[in-house]
Structure 1
């Protein structure tokens, strides 16, 4: 995940490429893969997230997946030769030059609620379809293609979860970028519920391994600093999403799934740097959540709706 400017403008060339890409992609059948939800993956994922309730012993068959933990399953299956130059999966990449992918945000909706959760021991089918591709331009004049995909997860009872994701594809870097300077730290803002994190390279490596994410920005410091201009390893957008939802689950005081989660990434977070998850009191069954880094910049915003 990289910095994402909130205001976009139409781009003729990017729009043409996006339109052709969308038309071609939608003429193909949806991408489907079926997987057995095994306990080992859940235990290792929970250990990576420092969640002792599911990491100290192998979870039993029938254990529900906590909200958003499906991200440890249905991982990309491309061989290395098919990956992008930056190590990313290219299954839904638009044509060159828009090959540099960033996770921009999305929406998750638990269709089955508590009555139909994804559980250990189930055989589940993930079906992915590309639903949108739009050419945009930032205020600074950089072209990009914004791609939307929709993933549905179906077990023997029917669809349990719909996961919509937005990715931004920027042109591949041809000229190395200078590393960004570290800003001056300032105090964190207060909030009703807060939790602080400082992600280590070990955590980022383990999260990349379990999600089979080869994106170099999460484990290759040389690539981050000498090619993409980051000051250190970048924390995964999905990891930030899970940490926001885990705070909500802990405040709820029981293992429940939300009705819906919407989120948007706005700025990168880096290994070794503190950040705070802040959540307001629930109003009308909706909790506002955000992540603030130690320099006062908002890195992710979200809304979590209770069932």
Structure 2
């Protein structure tokens, strides 16, 4: 893969850059969108959720928890995207340009009486709420950015989605592809569901969320530039699969009250992994995703109404 690597032209610390970025943060950004049935049907097909994929959902059909991620997608033209294809709307300055989805919190503040539904006109308001310089376990500097998104329909705010992104320094030297570890048995639990994502699923999920991040569809980029062993599974896709599993175990078209989650290790296409979920205790269900090599890839807590 022929590449011309950019030179880093900032020696400022992550803490300094994060502070400057936060002080110069832009005003909240808004976009209004019709929650159309076509997008929901195709998103459901991508997730292999046949209950909403076999026929076009009718107006008034509730969006299942976290399916709002198929809407309000980035609108940047290609020339404005990052070198790795990422949306740069809330990026700190270089050299911290390598974005990764770190986790977040979702809260259905509208309750059961105000959920997002097909046919509604909804406004998303996004604002920068935090930026902090930190270091990885290996000592590499990074900037952690937090944004808050509010979704408001004719009845008021239905959902608040708080997201954390990690921004690491851009790559100036190609990384050596990681080797595959030795497989170990997947863990057992009260409730388990296994997944193995294909490049087709990752491509369709990227397309529907308008996510051009190359780590999800360009195997050459993954292996020869970023040092991954294969295509990386989207963090939001893992979140949705966790929540869908919770919904299936609980039964019915239910909504959580609140979800907190944190991504801890990447998952790759073609590799089996498992969602492990405990029984609910004090209205809270603990859930995690573990890969075939003993790594915990995501942890979360789902609070019921």
Determine if the TM-score, normalized by the shorter chain, exceeds 0.5.
Answer: yes
Quote how far apart the aligned CAs of 1:281 are: 0.3
CA–CA distance in structure 2, aligned partners of residues 278 and 263 of structure 1: 14
State the secondary structure of the residue aligned to 1:259: strand
The count of residues paired between Structure 1 and Structure 2 equals 295
Equivalent residue number for residue 174 of structure 1 = 172
Equivalent residue number for residue 80 of structure 1 = 78
Deviates more, 1:12-21 or 1:293-302: 12-21
Can you give the 5+ residue segments of structure 1 that lack an aligned partner in the other structure?
Answer: 1-10
The answer (yes or no) to whether the contact 1:37–1:119 under 8 Å persists in 2 is yes
CA–CA distance in structure 1, aligned partners of residues 137 and 84 of structure 2: 25
CA offsets 1:78-118 (integer angstroms, 9 cap, x no match): 00000000000000000000010000000000011110000
The answer (yes or no) to whether the contact 1:78–1:89 under 8 Å persists in 2 is yes
State the secondary structure of the residue aligned to 2:18: helix
Quote how far apart the aligned CAs of 1:12 are: 7.6
Matches within 5 A, 1:28-39: 28-39=26-37
Equivalent residue number for residue 15 of structure 1 = 15
Matches within 5 A, 1:31-180: 31-180=29-178
- RMSD of Structure 2 on Structure 1 (CA): 0.9
Structure 1 stretches of at least 4 aligned residues deviating more than 3 Å after TM superposition: none
2:244 matched to 1:246? yes
CA–CA distance in structure 1, aligned partners of residues 128 and 16 of structure 2: 17
CA–CA distance in structure 1, aligned partners of residues 66 and 135 of structure 2: 31
**TM-score, structure 2 as length reference:** 0.96
The answer (yes or no) to whether the contact 1:12–1:135 under 8 Å persists in 2 is no
Cα 1:285/1:12, change in 2 over 3 Å: farther
CA offsets 1:242-285 (integer angstroms, 9 cap, x no match): 00000000011110110000000000000000000000000000
The answer (yes or no) to whether the contact 1:131–1:150 under 8 Å persists in 2 is yes
**TM-score, structure 1 as length reference:** 0.95
Quote how far apart the aligned CAs of 1:141 are: 1.9
Quote how far apart the aligned CAs of 1:139 are: 3.2
Equivalent residue number for residue 8 of structure 1 = none
